[in-house]
Amino acid sequence: MLNQDVKEADIGFTHEDFAALLDQYDYHFNPGDTVSGTVFSLEPRGALIDIGAKTAAYLPIQEMSINRVDHPEEVLRSNETREFFILTDENEDGQLTLSIRRIEYMRAWERVRQLQQEDATVRSGVFATNRGGALVRIEGLRGFIPGSHISTRKPKEDLVGEDLPLKFLEVDEERNRLVLSHRRALVERKMNGLQVGEVVLGAVRGLKPYGAFIDIGGVSGLLHISEISHDHIDTPHSVLNVNDEIKVMIIDLDAERGRISLSTKQLEPEPGDMVKNPDLVYDKAEEMAAKYREAMRRQAAEQAGELVDEPEEVYVEEEVAVAVD
């Protein structure tokens, strides 16, 4: 049995040697690393985390989640083990600062990029509005809906708390830009029940020099000035008024851009009827639309026939000299 009174000098291993050995096997932590740690103390404005460093690392309350946290107990439990992001180098006391928010932030951007690639429709409640549009949260990230992409008759300030279907317009983590469209989500949903060549009833909601915006069942379509009549018109105001109820035909559905293109020109029995007698155009709308669809069907068949009728290239095998008879 070893003598308990043996001095350090007799053993040949000092406290300094032991400290040096600890340093040799000490983990080196760098900002940006993700490490596993265990919560061993919850404090009013943060938590102490054991990640295997000499000094317990500190997790401030503002770094506990991508969402607002008022009390650490809302998101953490004592002795819980999980991943942490190293936010800063050791301070003068040898303590590292950690973050959960940064991990959630990176994963949230990864998720919204995936949703954008899938062209998914997401839902979110509006939590604030400003002069430019409305603010929502997607996967914990703050997103912006431009006013031009909000498709509702409600005043913007009345949208707070309302749950909206949304499509992604821009996902840019580097610039911290997450832009969404309510209009495009509605148009896509509406488009599922619409067809090119279909006649729909709509109401004029706005007039611009380049055309009229027509509300068709809660979504807006554009009746371009060139599609109002075969006759030249100087301004849509000369033919249409705001709140007029009119019949229009769908000539294009662009789900990618969330646009519906409309026409009354294609419904004219005679060129210029929209200018001279719009009621006649509306009365004959279904009949003229049927002719339009038939013409489109014939055109498609002819184009397909041209492809089928193209002569096949005849391959003539060339005589090749062989080395062996």
Percent of the chain with pLDDT over 90: 64
The two structure tokens encoding residue 269: 């029995």
Mean residue pLDDT of the chain comes to: 85
Q: Is there a shared CATH topology between the 115-182 domain and the 193-300 domain? A: yes
- Exposed/middle/buried for residue 231 (C-beta within 10 Å: 0-12, 13-18, 19+): middle
| DSSP assignments along 26-43, one per residue | -----TT-EEEEEEEEEE
Rounded CA-CA distance 262/199 in Å is: 9
Q: Give 132-175 pLDDT, tens digit per residue.
A: 999 999 999 999 999 989 988 788 888 999 999 999 999 999 99
Rounded CA-CA distance 249/272 in Å is: 16
Q: Give 75-133 pLDDT, tens digit per residue.
A: 999 999 999 999 988 888 889 999 999 999 999 999 999 999 999 999 999 999 999 99
> What is the distance, to the nearest Å, from the Cα of residue 204 to the centroid of all Cα atoms in its chain?
30
**If one looks up domain 193-300 in CATH, what number appears?**
2.40.50.140
Rounded CA-CA distance 211/240 in Å is: 10
Rounded CA-CA distance 302/44 in Å is: 76
- Mean pLDDT along residues 6-16: 50
The answer to whether residue 54 scores a pLDDT higher than 90 is no
The answer to whether residue 282 scores a pLDDT higher than 50 is yes
Q: Are 207 and 228 in contact (CB under 8 A)?
A: no
Confidence of residue 220 (pLDDT cuts 50, 70, 90): confident
The answer to whether residue 61 scores a pLDDT higher than 50 is yes
Q: Are 58 and 84 in contact (CB under 8 A)?
A: no
266 versus 52: which is more confidently predicted? 266
Q: Give the pairing of strands 34-43 and 81-88.
A: antiparallel
Residues whose CB falls within 8 Å of the CB of residue 197, separated by 6 or more in sequence, listed in order: 249, 250, 251, 289, 292, 293, 296
- Mean pLDDT along residues 50-59: 89
Distances (CA, A) of 118 to 113, 114, 286: 9, 6, 37
Domain 115-182 sits in CATH 2.60.40.1930: no
- At residue 20, the pLDDT reads 57
| DSSP assignments along 269-287, one per residue | SSTTHHHH-HHHHHHTHHH
- At residue 53, the pLDDT reads 85
Q: Is 100 helix (H, G, I), strand (E, B) or coil?
A: coil
> What is the distance, to the nearest Å, from the Cα of residue 171 to the centroid of all Cα atoms in its chain?
6
Confidence of residue 19 (pLDDT cuts 50, 70, 90): low
| DSSP assignments along 42-72, one per residue | EETTEEEEESSSSS-EEEEGGGS-SS--SSG
Q: Give 238-264 pLDDT, tens digit per residue.
A: 999 999 999 999 999 887 777 899 999
Q: Are 143 and 108 in contact (CB under 8 A)?
A: no
> What is the distance, to the nearest Å, from the Cα of residue 45 to the centroid of all Cα atoms in its chain?
34
Would you give the DSSP letter of residue 82?
A: E
CATH architecture of 14-99: Beta Barrel (2.40)
The answer to whether residue 314 scores a pLDDT higher than 90 is no
In the chain, what are the domain boundaries? 14-99, 115-182, 193-300
The answer to whether residue 325 scores a pLDDT higher than 90 is no
Closest-CA residue to 182 (of 203, 170, 168) = 168
